[in-house]
C-alpha cells in the first residue's frame, strides 16, 4: 500500500504542501523515503537537524496511524502544539495529565488521529494497548532511541519492553531515532527491538556553527561571578545546565538579584509537571531569557534561536554533552558552548553515578523484602511511591530493579514468583550487571575529563569517538584554537517591556501605541 503512495510521490512537493518547507535538511529525505517503503529504519541525526519531520511527514502521507513513543510529556505537548499551529490537526498526545474520564473518551476515537504521541510507560497499559491493536498502524516511531540501550547515556528500563509492544501491535515498520548513538548503541537498539536488518541512516553529529569554550575556575562563587559578568554585556536565549537541583534554584536567585531586568527561571525534575511545562512554554515564547536547569530540560525543544549553552557542572559523559550543546543555534547562526569547571567538580558526577544504581546492600535488602512479601502472600503495591517506601530506593533505582526482576521471572505483573535457584541466579546476574554499568559510567566520565583537559582542538577531540572526521567551523573554533569569550560579539535579543499587572500594560498601549507592548 505504501509503495503505491511512494511511487507517485514527489517528496519535496509534499513537504511544501504540508509544512511549508522547500527543501529537506541533511538525511531527512533519505530516511523518509525508506519509511515510506515500509522498511525498519535507524536514523541518527544531529540535535537540531529535524528528526521529528522524519515521521511527521510520513504520518501525513501514510494511510494508517503513526504512533510515536516519546520520553517527555513536555516534549510531546510542545510538538502537538506546533503541529496544530501548522494545520496538522489530526494529532494528539496521550499522557498522565488527561483525567481518566477524558482519557477513556479519547480512547474510543483514536482512529480519528493520524499521529499519536505516547510515553513508553503508558503504551504498556492494557487499556490503551488493547485499543491500539484495533487501529491500522503503519509506523511505530521510537524517539530518543538511545534510551533503549544499556550502553546509552539516558538508559531507561521501560524502553526495553518495547519489543513486546512491537509484537503486540502486529509488527508495524519501526523508525528508531536518536541524536547520539555510538556503534555499540546502534547494535544494541537493533538487538533489543529484534530488528537486525534495520536500514541505517547515520549522519555526522558535529555542528559547524557552535563554538566551544572551556574555562577553569576556583569554585562555584567564581562561576557565579563569571556568569553574572557575562550577562552584563550579553542578552541572548541561554540554557545553563546543572547536575544539582538545588544549584539551579540558587543561581536563579543570584541572577535575579544581580540582574533584576534579566528574565530567569529554574527547571528540574523535582518540580510539579505543570510548573515545568509553564517554564518551558515561557522560554519557547521568548518570555524568559535564561533557564537554569538539570538535564530534564531540553530534549526535543524546538527553539531555533538559543545562542548560549553554559555547563555549570561536568556532564557525566560526552554523549549527553553533545546532545545538550546541540540545542543551540538550530537556525544555523553562530552560538557558543561554555563549560566551567573546578577541581571540586569531579566529585559530583562520581556521586551521581553511584546514586543511579542500587548498591550491593540495597540489592540484598530488596531480595529479603521480596521474599518476606512472598511468604506473606502479598502482591507488590501498584504505586511507585509505595515501592520506594518498602524497598528504600529512589524511583530510578526501583524502575531499574523492577525490570530486572521481570526479566528474570521473579515478578509477573505484580505477583511475586519464587523459585530458589532462579532467584539465586538472578541475584548474581543483576549484581554483575550493576558492576558492569558502573564500570561503563566511570569510563564515560574519564573520557569527559580527558576532553576537558586536552590541549588539542576541542572540536576534533569531542567528535573523534563518534565519527571519522568533523566539519570545519563556520566561525571561530574553540578556546584551544584561539577563541576568547571576552571578545564574542553577538546580536543581542530584543527584550519586551515587562509589566507588573494588566493595568500597566494597558496604560502602555494607550501611551505608546503598543510599540513596546
Who's near 81: CB < 8 A, 6+ residues apart? none
pLDDT band for position 496 (50/70/90)?
Answer: low
Q: What is the pLDDT of residue 248?
A: 96
419-447 pLDDT per residue, tens: 999 999 999 999 999 998 889 888 989 99
The answer to whether residue 493 scores a pLDDT higher than 80 is no
CATH of 210-349+469-511, one of 3.40.50.2000, 3.40.50.170, 3.40.630.30, 3.40.50.300: 3.40.50.300
Match 566551544 to its residue by C-alpha cell. Answer: 212
Residue pair 224/248 in contact (Cβ under 8 Å)? The answer is no
pLDDT of 503 strictly over 60? no
Give 238-252 pLDDT, tens digit per residue.
999 999 999 999 999
Q: Same CATH topology for 2-202 and 210-349+469-511?
A: yes
Topology classification of domain 2-202: Rossmann fold (3.40.50)
Percent pLDDT > 90 in the chain is: 50
Q: Mean pLDDT throughout 268-273? A: 86
For residue 499, what pLDDT is reported? 45
Residue 26: which pLDDT band, with cuts at 50, 70 and 90? confident
pLDDT per residue as tens digits for the range 48-64:
678 889 999 999 999 89
> In this predicted structure, what is the pLDDT of residue 507?
53
pLDDT (average), residues 113-121: 91
Predicted confidence band at 337 (pLDDT cuts at 50, 70, 90)? very high
What share of the chain in percent tops pLDDT 70?
91
Residue-by-residue DSSP string for 94-154: E-TTS-HHHHHHHHTTGGG-SEEEE-TTGGGSHHHHHHHTTS-EEEEEESSGGGGSTTSTT
Q: Which residue has better confidence, 180 or 155?
A: 180
Residues 6+ apart with CB under 8 A from 198: 39, 40, 41, 42, 174, 176, 189, 190
Q: What's the confidence (pLDDT) of residue 386? A: 79
- 351 pLDDT band, cuts 50/70/90, is confident
Domain residue ranges in the chain: 2-202, 210-349+469-511, 358-445
Query: Does pTM surpass 0.85?
Result: no
- Mean predicted lDDT score pLDDT of the chain: 86
Amino acid at each position: 500500500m505504501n509503495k503505491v503512495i511512494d511511487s507517485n510521490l514527489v517528496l519535496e512537493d509534499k513537504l511544501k504542501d504540508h509544512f511549508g518547507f522547500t527543501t529537506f535538511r541533511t538525511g531527512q529525505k533519505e530516511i523518509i523515503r525508506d519509511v515510506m517503503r515500509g522498511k525498519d529504519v535507524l536514523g541518527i541525526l544531529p540535535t537540531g537537524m529535524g528528526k521529528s519531520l522524519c515521521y511527521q511527514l510520513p504520518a501525513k502521507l501514510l494511510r494508517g496511524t503513526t504512533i510515536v513513543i516519546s520520553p517527555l510529556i513536555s516534549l510531546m505537548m510542545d510538538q502537538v502544539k506546533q503541529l496544530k499551529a501548522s494545520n496538522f490537526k489530526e494529532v494528539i498526545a496521550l499522557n498522565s495529565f488527561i483525567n481518566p474520564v477524558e482519557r477513556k473518551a479519547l480512547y474510543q476515537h483514536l482512529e480519528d488521529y493520524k499521529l499519536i504521541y505516547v510515553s513508553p510507560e503508558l503504551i504498556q497499559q492494557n487499556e490503551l494497548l488493547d485499543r491500539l491493536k484495533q487501529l491500522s498502524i503503519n509506523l511505530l516511531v521510537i524517539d530518543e532511541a538511545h534510551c533503549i540501550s544499556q550502553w546509552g547515556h539516558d538508559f531507561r528500563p521501560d524502553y526495553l519492553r518495547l519489543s513486546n509492544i512491537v509484537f503486540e501491535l502486529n509488527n508495524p515498520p519501526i523508525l528508531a531515532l536518536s541524536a547520539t548513538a555510538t556503534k555499540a548503541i546502534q547494535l544494541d537498539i537493533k538487538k533489543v527491538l529484534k530488528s537486525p536488518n534495520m536500514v541505517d541512516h547515520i549522519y555526522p553529529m558535529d555542528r559547524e556553527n557552535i563554538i566551544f569554550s572551556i574555562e577553569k575556575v576556583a569554585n562555584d562563587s567564581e562561576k557565579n561571578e563569571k556568569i553574572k559578568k557575562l550577562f552584563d554585556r550579553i542578552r541572548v536565549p541561554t540554557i545553563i545546565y546543572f547536575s544539582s537541583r538545588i544549584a539551579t534554584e540558587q543561581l536563579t536567585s543570584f541572577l535575579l538579584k544581580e540582574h533584576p531586568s534579566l528574565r530567569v527561571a529554574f527547571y528540574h525534575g523535582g518540580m510539579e509537571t505543570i510548573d515545568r511545562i509553564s517554564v518551558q512554554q515561557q522560554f519557547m515564547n521568548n518570555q524568559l531569557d535564561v533557564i537554569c536547569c538539570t538535564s530534564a530540560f531540553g530534549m526535543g525543544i524546538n527553539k531555533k534561536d538559543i545562542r548560549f549553552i553554559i555547563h555549570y557542572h561536568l556532564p557525566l559523559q560526552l554523549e549527553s554533552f553533545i546532545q545538550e550543546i546541540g540545542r543551540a543555534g538550530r537556525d544555523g547562526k553562530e552560538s557558543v558552548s561554555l563549560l566551567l569547571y573546578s577541581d571540586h567538580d569531579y566529585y559530583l558526577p562520581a556521586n551521581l553515578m553511584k546514586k543511579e544504581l542500587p548498591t550491593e546492600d540495597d540489592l540484598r535488602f530488596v531480595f529479603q523484602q521480596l521474599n518476606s512479601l512472598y511468604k506473606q502472600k502479598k502482591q507488590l503495591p501498584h504505586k511507585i511511591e509505595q515501592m520506594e517506601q518498602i524497598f528504600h530506593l529512589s524511583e530510578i533505582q526501583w524502575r531499574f530493579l523492577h525490570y530486572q526482576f521481570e526479566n528474570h521471572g521473579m515478578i509477573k505483573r505484580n505477583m511475586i514468583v519464587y523459585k530458589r535457584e532462579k532467584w539465586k541466579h538472578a541475584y548474581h546476574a543483576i549484581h554483575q550487571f550493576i558492576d558492569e554499568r558502573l564500570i561503563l559510567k566511570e569510563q564515560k566520565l574519564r573520557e569527559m575529563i580527558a576532553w576537558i583537559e586536552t590541549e588539542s582542538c576541542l572540536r576534533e577531540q569531542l567528535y573523534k569517538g563518534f565519527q571519522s572526521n568533523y566539519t570545519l567551523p563556520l566561525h571561530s573554533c574553540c578556546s584551544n584554537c584561539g577563541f576568547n569569550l571576552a571578545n564574542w560579539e553577538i546580536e543581542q535579543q530584543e527584550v519586551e517591556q515587562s509589566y507588573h499587572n494588566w493595568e500597566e500594560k494597558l496604560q502602555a498601549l494607550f501611551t505608546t501605541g503598543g510599540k513596546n507592548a
